[in-house]
Structure 1
Amino acid sequence: MKPTIKIDFVSDIACPWCAVGLGNLNQAMEELKDKVDFEVHFRPFELNPNMPQGGQDAIEHLTEKYGLSAEQVKANQANIRSKAMEAGFEFHPEGRKRVYNTFDSHRLLYWAAKEYDLKKQAALKAELLKTYFCLAVNLDDPKNLLDAVTRAGLDPQRAQTILDGDEFTNEVRAEEVTYTKVGISSVPSIILNDQYLLQGAQPPESFINAFEQLTQGS
């Protein structure tokens, strides 16, 4: 019987390094799929919880947040785009246009896990990241979220009902508090078996090493 590793992937779909980290994690899990079963839960973290409707120009936001010049931001984006390509995400060549609030996306991800299963949640996570970084479309437009839901194979009518109301708001807020209380302040943060923490967009080899250490003697 194969051992199972539980993975809590704490992240935000507004985080490009979360896409890189997820792609690398997927590569590592694929490498060890014959030896280990994986149980992946996507947990919410908001980089910009106070971002208003309409969002903010991405270059403006990043220069203000990190104290960089526009040229430095663009150079960083090019580097991330290259890393994302290696991880399986083809980011938009011009980068995302704006930074948006992502709370509704987290509500949809919670719904996917609750009313479907973890595989559907993973599919939706990938599609939401693609919506944000590969298509680089307006995340405030519900149609773009519903298109991601449809591509992931979930019910867009049910998703529309969720977006029209406040379902799963309390549950997502509670999960956010859980992870900030244990000290997580940056993403991606990947918790293995509720005990071990990996932070940042680790390369596939780092994940593989961690998984092998966890399963030694199993």
Structure 2
Amino acid sequence: MEQAKKPLRIDIVSDVVCPWCAIGYSQLAEALKQTNTPHEIHWHPFELNPNTPHEGRNYREHIMEKYGTTAEDVKESRARMTAAGSEAGFNFQFTDEFRTYNTFNTHQLLYWADQQGRMHDLKQALFVTHFVDNKNVADSTVLADIATDIGLDRTEALAVLEDQRFAAAVEKEKQHWQQQGIQSVPSMVFNERHLISGAQGIENYKSILQQLADMPD
């Protein structure tokens, strides 16, 4: 009798305020569904803009300053991201007032949620809160609300953010992935061996999954 293959391990290094991370995961999720691939996903922290203040920054102004682009460039980029997200089932709600935020607290809350087997659910909820609901994901009250919505304890969530008990652990994990050469996100590592960077598209992910399925264990 042929032994069943182990689920595909997928390590995803990403940030909650990274639009291509939301797109890339949505594309991958659809490819996994279409190929009926058994898998397990492990999320890991990356901070795109660790110096962002608590109140955030206007996204358009931030991108123009960071990359030296124009307001028209940002508008066209948002249109591309909106289209790519929609195709994969993720509906961005960009506005002229859309902001980007500091995500160190989100990564600490994700670390805590992982200990309860709820990291994946929290990650998806954070993507929606930021890109669809346009809320401040640096704010402890907002984060506690999200934790509550997925069934986690609100008081404990607030305590985790108040005392920053997982700050050192998150920093250590961030440094680990940087030392592995991860400098941009999303970065996905399949079966701890094969690195794929960026949002590849549903069809490309399906091709990648097929190639991985054909490989001997």
**SS of residue in 1 equivalent to 2:43:** strand
RMSD: 1.5
**SS of residue in 2 equivalent to 1:43:** strand
Cα-to-partner distance string for 1:86-134 (whole Å, 9 max, x where unaligned): 22221114266221100110111111112x11xx211110110111111
Q: TM-score, normalised by structure 1?
A: 0.92
Q: Distance in 1 between matches of 2:10 and 2:105?
A: 23
8 Å Cα contact 1:4/1:38 also seen in 2:
yes
8 Å Cα contact 1:110/1:168 also seen in 2:
yes
Who is 1:11 aligned against?
Answer: 14
Identity value in percent: 39
Residues 1:30 and 2:23 aligned together: no
8 Å Cα contact 1:96/1:132 also seen in 2:
no
8 Å Cα contact 2:50/2:102 also seen in 1:
yes
Q: TM-score, normalised by structure 2?
A: 0.92
8 Å Cα contact 1:11/1:42 also seen in 2:
yes
Task: Give the drift of 1:53.
Answer: 2.0
**SS of residue in 2 equivalent to 1:48:** coil
User: Any runs of at least 4 consecutive aligned residues in structure 1 with deviations exceeding 4 A, and if so which?
Assistant: none
Who is 2:88 aligned against?
Answer: 87
The number of residues matched between the two structures is: 213
Q: Distance in 2 between matches of 1:111 and 1:203?
A: 31
8 Å Cα contact 1:77/1:95 also seen in 2:
no
Q: Distance in 2 between matches of 1:86 and 1:151?
A: 27
Task: Give the drift of 1:84.
Answer: 1.1
Who is 2:143 aligned against?
Answer: 145
Structure 1 unaligned blocks of 5 or more:
none
**SS of residue in 1 equivalent to 2:9:** strand
Structure 2 unaligned blocks of 5 or more:
none
Cα-to-partner distance string for 1:121-155 (whole Å, 9 max, x where unaligned): 11110110111111111223222212221232322
Who is 2:67 aligned against?
Answer: 66
Counterpart of 1:50, as a letter, is: N
Q: Distance in 1 between matches of 2:170 and 2:119?
A: 14
**SS of residue in 2 equivalent to 1:191:** strand
Who is 2:57 aligned against?
Answer: 56
